């Protein structure tokens, strides 16, 4: 009798919990909210919050309100899996994340097993979609595109000079550096130096002295803004005029806060700046009204959530298979322009352009973009 009672109570409780959960759709964004890449976590969080606010103001998705959960993986692969499991347990149906490739790849396996849709706004390592399940999409480019642009630039502009290629041993950093190296070698150029450094350290003076002594003219860094910023700062402190070239992990104003004047002239590859899209103008204005500059991956996160909401509208359901089919077959009007996804889950739109840091902000650089393989 007692057993029956408990069972009834448990069923009733579950039904109640289910009833509450039905009232809203839970989605999440996950990025480094803490840790040394926290400035990127803020971009993701800001972008996601604004997107959810705007979607709810326009009536939600399929007539239901959207609730955003912000997860923190600190760009640590172990923590990323833990957060992914937690989100799955909370009943999240869609994740706009993660930021670091090293986190996104292991987390995507969890989402695949549990049937959760994932659109990464920022993880560029090719493996994410190449080896990932059908549930994995991304709105940013891939490092094999980015590496070709970077490798060609180094060959075109610095062909006769000494080139150093550095990476931070992470999935993103090493992946990007190796793609760049491969393209450079394809162009028949051997770099003068190839080194790996440890992320999270602050002293790179020995490495800088080494490059200075080897007469390196240009250094290509596959890594994040904190380390790249410290390196260029320490290079200038040693009176060493090396050109820094890097990838999309420098698109945060924190880079300039670290380097100050030393960051002047740093080149980086990044997808087209969505702030310049006419479609994005009202959203950009909305961000600026609350005193936030939607730099870097902010609008990419906004766009990922927009694409998800549009896909749900087109599919008329949140069922995973229908959502995957909808994402692959439709075109979506987002702040990133009109985007679609291919079979692998990569965004069909734009590749990479060159940017230059100047006076505390980045803008298109007067450098030829060469995408020939």
Partner 1 sequence: MESTFEYFLEQLINGVTLGSVYGLIAIGYTMVYGIIGMINFAHGEIFMIGSFIALITFMILGIVGITWVPLAILIVLIVAMLLTSVYGWTLERIAYRPLRNSPRLAALITAIGMSIFLQNYVQLLQGARNKPMQPIIRGGIELMRQGDYVVSLSYLQMFIILLTIVLMAVFSLIIAKTSLGRQQRACEQDQKMASLLGVDVDRTISLTFVMGSALASVAGVIFLINYGVIDFYIGFLAGVKAFTAAVLGGIGSLPGAMLGGMLIGLIEAFWSGYFTVEYKDVAAFSILVLVLIFRPTGLLGKPDVEKV
233 vs 328 by CB, closer to partner 1: 233
159 vs 260 by CB, closer to partner 1: 260
Tell me how far, at minimum, the Cβ of 199 lies from partner 1, in Å. 11
- If one asks whether residue 35 binds partner 1 (CB under 8 A), the answer comes out as yes
Which region among 91-99, 120-128, 194-202, 311-319 touches partner 1 (by CB under 8 A)?
Answer: 194-202
| Cβ atoms < 10 Å from Cβ of 42 | 18
Sole binder of partner 1 in the list 197, 270, 287, 362 (CB under 8 A): 197
- If one asks whether residue 84 binds partner 1 (CB under 8 A), the answer comes out as no
- If one asks whether residue 85 binds partner 1 (CB under 8 A), the answer comes out as no
- If one asks whether residue 5 binds partner 1 (CB under 8 A), the answer comes out as no
343 by DSSP, 3-state: which? Answer: coil
Residues 123-142 that bind partner 1 (CB under 8 A): none
- If one asks whether residue 36 binds partner 1 (CB under 8 A), the answer comes out as yes
How many chain residues touch partner 1 (CB under 8 A)? 36
208 by DSSP, 3-state: which? Answer: helix
Q: How far is CA 68 from the centre of its chain?
A: 18
Taking residues 148 to 177 in sequence order and writing x for each that binds partner 1 by CB under 8 A, - otherwise, the string is: ---------------------x--------
Strands of 145-237, DSSP E: 163-167, 193-196, 218-222
Partners of 363 in beta bridges: 356
Here the tokens at position 255 are: 């880079």
Distance CA 255, CA 13 (A): 50
Distance CA 280, CA 199 (A): 34
- If one asks whether residue 215 binds partner 1 (CB under 8 A), the answer comes out as yes
DSSP per position, 159-174: TTS-EEEEE-SSHHHH
Here the tokens at position 267 are: 């080149």
Tell me how far, at minimum, the Cβ of 123 lies from partner 1, in Å. 20
| Rounded alpha-carbon distances, angstroms, from residue 309 to 4, 111, 232, 326 | 43, 18, 41, 11
Exposure letters 261-295 (e unless 16+ CB within 10 A, then b): ebbeebbbbbbbbbbebeebeebbebbeeeeeebb
330 by DSSP, 3-state: which? Answer: coil
Sole binder of partner 1 in the list 1, 213, 289, 290 (CB under 8 A): 213
Tell me how far, at minimum, the Cβ of 170 lies from partner 1, in Å. 13
Tell me how far, at minimum, the Cβ of 200 lies from partner 1, in Å. 6
Residues 40-79 that bind partner 1 (CB under 8 A): 42
Tell me how far, at minimum, the Cβ of 325 lies from partner 1, in Å. 39
190 vs 203 by CB, closer to partner 1: 203
Distance CA 347, CA 324 (A): 13
The answer to whether 335 and 274 are in contact (CB under 8 A) is yes
Tell me how far, at minimum, the Cβ of 151 lies from partner 1, in Å. 22
Tell me how far, at minimum, the Cβ of 211 lies from partner 1, in Å. 10
Taking residues 244 to 263 in sequence order and writing x for each that binds partner 1 by CB under 8 A, - otherwise, the string is: ----------x--xx-x---
The answer to whether 327 and 307 are in contact (CB under 8 A) is yes
Tell me the torsion sign for CA atoms 60, 67, 323, 303: positive
- If one asks whether residue 199 binds partner 1 (CB under 8 A), the answer comes out as no
Tell me how far, at minimum, the Cβ of 198 lies from partner 1, in Å. 7
The answer to whether 102 and 109 are in contact (CB under 8 A) is no
75 vs 118 by CB, closer to partner 1: 75
Tell me how far, at minimum, the Cβ of 365 lies from partner 1, in Å. 24
| Rounded alpha-carbon distances, angstroms, from residue 81 to 109, 111, 163, 366 | 9, 9, 37, 41
- If one asks whether residue 206 binds partner 1 (CB under 8 A), the answer comes out as yes
Tell me how far, at minimum, the Cβ of 128 lies from partner 1, in Å. 25
Positions in the binding site for partner 1 (CB under 8 A): 33-36, 38-39, 42, 169, 195-198, 200-203, 205-207, 209-210, 212-215, 226, 229-230, 233, 237-239, 254, 257-258, 260
């Amino acid at each position: 009798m007692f057993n029956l009672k408990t069972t009834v109570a448990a069923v009733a409780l579950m039904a109640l919990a289910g009833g509450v959960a039905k009232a809203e759709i839970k989605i999440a964004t996950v990025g480094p909210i803490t840790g040394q890449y926290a400035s990127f976590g803020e971009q993701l969080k800001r972008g996601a919050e604004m997107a959810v606010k705007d979607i709810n103001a326009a009536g939600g998705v399929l007539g239901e309100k959207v609730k955003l959960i912000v997860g923190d993986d600190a760009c640590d692969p172990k923590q990323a899996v833990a957060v992914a499991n937690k989100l799955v347990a909370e009943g999240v149906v869609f994740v706009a994340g993660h930021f670091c490739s090293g986190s996104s790849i292991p987390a995507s396996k969890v989402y695949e097993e549990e049937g959760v849709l994932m659109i990464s706004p920022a993880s560029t390592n090719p493996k994410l979609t190449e080896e990932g399940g059908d549930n994995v999409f991304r709105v940013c480019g891939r490092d094999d595109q980015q590496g070709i642009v970077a490798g060609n630039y180094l060959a075109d502009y610095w062909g006769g000079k000494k080139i150093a290629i550095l990476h931070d041993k992470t999935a993103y950093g090493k992946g990007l550096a190796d793609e760049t190296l491969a393209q450079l070698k394809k162009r028949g150029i051997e770099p003068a130096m190839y080194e790996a450094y440890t992320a999270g350290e602050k002293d790179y003076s020995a490495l800088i002295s080494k490059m200075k002594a080897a007469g390196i003219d240009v250094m290509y860094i596959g890594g994040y803004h904190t380390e790249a910023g410290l390196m260029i700062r320490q290079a200038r402190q040693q009176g060493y005029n090396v050109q820094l070239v890097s990838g999309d992990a420098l698109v945060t104003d924190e880079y300039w806060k670290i380097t100050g004047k030393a960051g002047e002239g740093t080149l980086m590859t990044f997808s087209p700046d969505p702030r310049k899209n006419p479609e994005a103008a009202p959203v950009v204005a909305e961000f600026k009204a609350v005193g936030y500059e939607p730099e870097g991956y902010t609008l990419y996160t906004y766009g990922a959530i927009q694409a998800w909401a549009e896909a749900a509208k087109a599919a008329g359901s949140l069922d995973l298979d229908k959502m995957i089919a909808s994402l692959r077959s439709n075109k979506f009007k987002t702040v990133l322009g009109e985007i679609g996804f291919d079979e692998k889950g990569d965004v069909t739109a734009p590749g990479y352009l060159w940017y230059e840091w100047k006076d505390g902000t980045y803008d298109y650089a007067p450098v030829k973009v060469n995408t020939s393989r």
